[in-house]
Each structure stands twice: as C-alpha cells, then as structure tokens.
Structure 1
C-alpha cells in the first residue's frame, strides 16, 4: 500500500511538472494564434456592454439621450432602437481583433523573454515594459477599427456597414480621423496594459505558485487585473471616446478638440471631475469578464495548441 501511494505521488509530481513545462518555451507562432483566437472571443462576447459604455461616455447635446445607469442605457437602447443595435459595429471588432491580438500577445511574449520577465519571482518592471510595448504595436493596427466601431455604436448612427463607414469617414474627415485618438489611446492603453500585465502575472503566481495550467487561476487573475486597470485609466478612456466621436457632434467645441489635452479640458469645463467617471461602471463590468475570458482563452488555446504541436511532431 505504501509503495502504491509513493508511485501515485511521483506520478502526480510528474504530471504537475509536465503541465508547468508545457506553459514554458511555447513557440511564438502558437502564442500569436492563441492571442488571435482569444481576442476575437473576448471582443465579440463583450460587445453589447461596450456599446453601453460608449453611449454613456459620449458628451451629449441637450437634444440627445442622457443615460443615468447601465440598466437605463440597456433598456432605452433595446426598446427604442432594438436589440440588434447592441451588435452594430461588431464586424469591425472581429476584423481588427484577431490580427491585433496576435501582434499584442506575440510582442508581449518576445519582450517579456528579452527583458527577463520569465525569471523566478515577480518581475514587475519587465512585465510592465513588455505590456506597454505590446499595446503600442497592436493599437497602431487596431485604432482605425476602434474608431469605426464607435461611430457605428453611436445613437442614431447612419452607419450600417463597416466598409461604408470607413469610406464615409475618409471622404469627410480624411485619414487623420482614424488616428486622431491614437496618442490618447496610447496614453491610456500603455498604463492600462502595464498595470494589467503586472497585476495579472503577480496574481497568477500568488494563486498558483507552480504555474501549472490552471483555468480557474487564469480567470480570477485576469478578471482582477482587468478591473484594476480599467478603473485607473477610465478618465483617459472618456477623453478618447470624445475624440473618436467628435465628427458626429453638433457642438463646435467638441468638434474642435484635436488632442488629449483639449478633450480633457472640454470634459472638465462641462462636467467637472465627475465627467471623468462617465462609463466607469460599464467599463469595469466590461474589462473584468472580458479580461478573464481573454486570459482563459489565451492560456487555454496556447496550452492545447502546444500540446497538439508536440503530438504531431512525435508522430511525424
């Protein structure tokens, strides 16, 4: 009996080590494919909540609808415009999220490895730098798709097609319209990603010191890190939304905002400090489950794709 128990313990240790090794040294191509699949899953699933966040963050004119809460926004949108409105613009996200997240996670894994983020212990500086680098690369690709998405999410938007929306923006506002919010986006997403990755890696190691494949760990650590990062960077997200939707505003001051500083001044002058909390609840409600889903998908796809790759190489 004792010998059987000893054998069982050895097998468990070997399995734990096997799982841990399967999460290390994963080929870059597999990490990028896993990131692409994770990005599409995350954004498509959470898109209706993102619509509500956008609506609540837009500085409306007196004639436009003001939303007092997430439930109020959901009720008014579905009753007045129909439930399909909650999915308007999702094609733009799907088209952009796949390649953008492949670039995102690929850059992260490369930079984390180069700066020593895979060493033992909590490598805060390395993971923060790798996360910042990842978002600079991916946002350069994703920003135009995000602008199109938000134009289609607006109340009474005339845009029903991603490609027609892109063509209209280019003809009426020029190429600049797709990137006017990019500096503001980076000002927001670089600290967001730095906080998110640092908190995620820390939480993951605290919850699962062996770093074996653990879906529950990835869900909890991902959700927690997403909520923290979303709350910290919400004021910048409000400014970004103003810049991305200014072309549809009838307000001269809003239309004239050409950068982050001007956008922040408009918000401060119109609503004071409370203006920077616009959309905070739906933003946190978006990023907690979406980050949990993203990390669960990413780590899961990466683990199983790597397993399949190893099995194929053995049978080849």
Structure 2
C-alpha cells in the first residue's frame, strides 16, 4: 500500500476542518448541479397547485441559488460530520456514531441552506429574472418567516434522511471496501445505495416540505396560508389520500441515487487528493528544517 492510501485511511479523523470543508463544498455543488433538472421536475410533480410546465428553457431556473448555498452549506455539513464522527466513534465503521454525526451535521447544513432552497423552488415554479429578485419579492410579500417556515419540517425530514444516509453509506462501505482505501467504484455504489434507501423512506416528509416552501406561488387560499407541518399533512391527505405523500417518489429516488453517489465520490476523491499532498509537504518541511539546522 502506498503512502497516499495509508494517509487516506486516517484522513477522516486527522484531516483539518479546512480540508473536510473544501471536499464537502465541491461535493455539494457537484451533487446539486448535475441532478438539477430531475430535481426541478420533482418539485413540479409534488406541488398541489398548478405549476409551469417543464421546458428546456426553464429546466435550470434557480440553479444559481443552489450554487450559492450548496458550497458553504455542504462545506459546513461534511466538516461537522467528520468532527462529530471522530468524537463519537469507537471503531472504524461505527454505524451509531455515523448516524449521530449525520444528525448533528444536518442541523448546521439546513440552518444555512433552507433559505436558498426556498428561493430555488420558487424559481423552479415561476419566472424570476434573478435570485436577488426572487428573494426580494418573497421578503416583500411574506417577510423573513417565508425563508424559514419549512425549517422544522426540513429538519424532521433531513435528520432521519442524513442519519440513514451516513449510516447506510458506512455500512455499505464496510462490505464493499473493508480496507477503507480510496476506491471510486465502492464509494459510488455505497453512495447510490445510501441515497436510494434514505430518499425512499423520507419522501412523505419531502412532499410536505415542498408544499410549505412553495405556498407563496399558490392561488388556493388554503395552500397559500398553510402554516406548518400538521396543517400541510392534513391538506395533502384530504386532497390526495395516502398516495399524496408519495407524489414525486420516482424522480426523488432517481435524483438521490446518483446525486448521493456523486456527492460521496467527489468528497472521497478530494479527501484522497488532499491527503496525497500531505506527505510531500511534510517531507519538504523536514528537509528544509534539516538543511537550516546543518547550516
């Protein structure tokens, strides 16, 4: 095993917060941007009110909001996860520690990302010239509360989703890559499995979250004034029954399988990439010190 692989194995606990944050930022941007068209379709399927049809022209509308939020939010997400897992774990693949660390990371991520997600979904459903214009109109019409009304529901969905995802990823990795070395194929397969399981279980919560985040675009008074999780759930049940909570199930799973695979693959790559330069940097520093001392 070369020094890069050996260093990679311990990077999760020994890497700096900056390294984890940089890897996480690239992972978040890659994940959201590459799967954005399917996410836009999922949003239109989930809303209860009439939305604009999907066209090639508006497929990418709102993506800049994701780019602006996903980088810093995922940087905070993965850095928090690695820090908490290192503190909680008692073994290399401690599923309970991974799940708990994923929950902690989710609180940090969602607090930062939710307003950007609101703007993104509003732009997916209606025409705005820019992210700034959309945010300004939301604030003018509904106030600051509009950016965070879905946060409790988002957390109620994201905490189990991320806990399941991180635990499932660790479990799948322990089977596919027991040596814990850099292996793109196993990272991608474990990520896809984690995304499929977590997204399937949490779809009903995602439907409620979408209703709350897009209520300002609705003309229906009940939807427009829906005030929270339980009222949203009641409204969905009344109009569509139990099947209403699985609106957008297929595009959601089809989004999260590849997006989670991409996210983990990009994250693990940058962890490996950053780790390969640590030994060289250390060797250079040691050589310089030795030369200075002899001089």
Q: TM range, normalised to the smaller chain?
A: over 0.9
Q: 2:13 and 2:49 mapped to 1: Cα distance?
A: 49
Q: 1:302 and 1:124 mapped to 2: Cα distance?
A: 21
What is the CA-CA distance between 1:15 and the residue it aligns to? Answer: 7.6
Do the aligned partners of 2:99 and 2:164 also contact (CA within 8 Å) in 1?
yes
2:109 to 110, 120, 138: 138
2:206 to 237, 241, 260: 237
Corresponding residue number in structure 2 for 1:191: 160
What is the CA-CA distance between 1:306 and the residue it aligns to? Answer: 2.1
Do the aligned partners of 1:32 and 1:101 also contact (CA within 8 Å) in 2?
yes
Q: 1:235 and 1:105 mapped to 2: Cα distance?
A: 25
Q: 2:218 and 2:212 mapped to 1: Cα distance?
A: 10
Which moved further from structure 2: 289-298 or 21-30?
21-30
Question: Cα deviations across residues 241-297 of structure 1 (Å, max 9, x unaligned)?
Answer: 000010111111111211111101000000000001100000000000000000000
Corresponding residue number in structure 1 for 2:28: 39
What is the CA-CA distance between 1:191 and the residue it aligns to? Answer: 0.3
- Write the mapping of 1:159-174 to structure 2, written as runs, cut at 5 A: 159-174=128-143
Report SS of the residue matched to 2:257: helix
Give the alignment's TM-score, normalised by structure 1: 0.86
2:118 is equivalent to residue 147 of structure 1: yes
Q: 2:176 and 2:42 mapped to 1: Cα distance?
A: 31
- Write the mapping of 1:206-221 to structure 2, written as runs, cut at 5 A: 206-221=175-190
Q: 1:15 and 1:136 mapped to 2: Cα distance?
A: 33
What is the CA-CA distance between 1:229 and the residue it aligns to? Answer: 0.3
Report SS of the residue matched to 1:84: coil
2:58 to 79, 85, 92: 85
CA distance 1:95–1:14, shift in 2 (3 Å): closer
2:85 is equivalent to residue 112 of structure 1: yes
- Aligned CA RMSD, in angstroms, stands at 1.7
Do the aligned partners of 1:23 and 1:303 also contact (CA within 8 Å) in 2?
no
Do the aligned partners of 1:22 and 1:307 also contact (CA within 8 Å) in 2?
no
Q: 1:100 and 1:233 mapped to 2: Cα distance?
A: 21
CA distance 1:86–1:41, shift in 2 (3 Å): same
Q: 1:32 and 1:277 mapped to 2: Cα distance?
A: 34
Structure 1: gaps of 5 or more residues: 1-11, 66-75
Q: 1:198 and 1:250 mapped to 2: Cα distance?
A: 41
Structure 2: gaps of 5 or more residues: 286-295
Q: 2:24 and 2:110 mapped to 1: Cα distance?
A: 14
Q: 1:107 and 1:314 mapped to 2: Cα distance?
A: 29
Do the aligned partners of 2:176 and 2:186 also contact (CA within 8 Å) in 1?
yes
What is the CA-CA distance between 1:19 and the residue it aligns to? Answer: 4.9
2:94 is equivalent to residue 94 of structure 1: no
- Write the mapping of 1:1-316 to structure 2, written as runs, cut at 5 A: 12=1, 17=6, 19-21=8-10, 25-61=14-50, 77-78=54-55, 83-116=56-89, 119-120=91-92, 122-154=93-125, 157-316=126-285
Report SS of the residue matched to 2:89: coil
What is the CA-CA distance between 1:186 and the residue it aligns to? Answer: 0.2
What is the CA-CA distance between 1:113 and the residue it aligns to? Answer: 0.9
Report SS of the residue matched to 2:14: coil
Q: 1:142 and 1:22 mapped to 2: Cα distance?
A: 26
